[in-house]
Each structure stands twice: as C-alpha cells, then as structure tokens.
Amino acid sequence: MSERWPPGISDALSLPCSICGKRTNIDYKASDESWKYITSNKGHGNRLGVICLECFIELLLRHDRCPENCIESIYVIGRSATTVFKIDYLAHWPKEKT
Ligand SMILES: [Zn+2]
C-alpha cells in the first residue's frame, strides 16, 4: 500500500477556487490533456489558479468533455488520511427548462 502524498493536494488545502471562491477538502487529478484544454484559451483560460472539482466538471460539460474520461482520481482529504476514489460514472442532473 502506497503512503505517498497524492499530487496537487496542497493547492486544494491552501488556495480557494479561482472561479467560485470556495475552499474544499476534495481534490482531483485530471488527465494532462483535459487540464491543458480547460486551462487553454479554448477552455476557461485559467492557467495558474486552482479550479475546484465542481467547477472543473462544469467546465468539462460546457465543453462537451466526458468527466469520467478526464478525471483520473478524486481525493477526499481528511484529518489523518486521504481517501482516493476513481470515477465509476457521472450521474448528470436533468437540465432545467428556461
Ligand atoms: Zn469552484
């Protein structure tokens, strides 16, 4: 069993999301391709800031990307341990009619 500190966690613990402003104890590892796309000018264009999981999923869906294929792991950071999850599937909420 690996006891390595998962990558990227320090950002989630110390910095708020650059989009919604929330601090979260949930971090994630995105595929390099999806992160580069979302942080490029074609995507959100935010190269330096933290993007929380909720906002990242919204951006992926807005750009017709499948979150199940773009997010490799989800980390829930606890006081004594971090639990690592893999996405099985994403249950989409029905779109509200406007
Ligand atoms: Zn956010």
Question: How many angstroms is it from 53 CA to the middle of ligand 1?
Answer: 7
Q: Contact, 58 vs 95, CB < 8 A?
A: no
| 13-28 pLDDT per residue, tens | 578 898 999 988 899 9
- At 28-69, the pLDDT tens digits run 999 999 999 998 877 777 667 889 999 999 999 999 898 889
- Distance (angstroms) between ligand 1 centre and the Cα of 64 equals 18
Residues near 54 by beta carbon (within 8 Å), at least 6 away in sequence: 20, 22, 24
Contact 55, 26 (CB under 8 A): no
**Parallel/antiparallel/unpaired status of strands 82-85 and 71-77:** antiparallel
pTM, two decimal places: 0.79
- Between the CA of 61 and the centroid of ligand 1 the distance, in Å, is 14
CA 23 / ligand 1 centre spacing (Å): 8
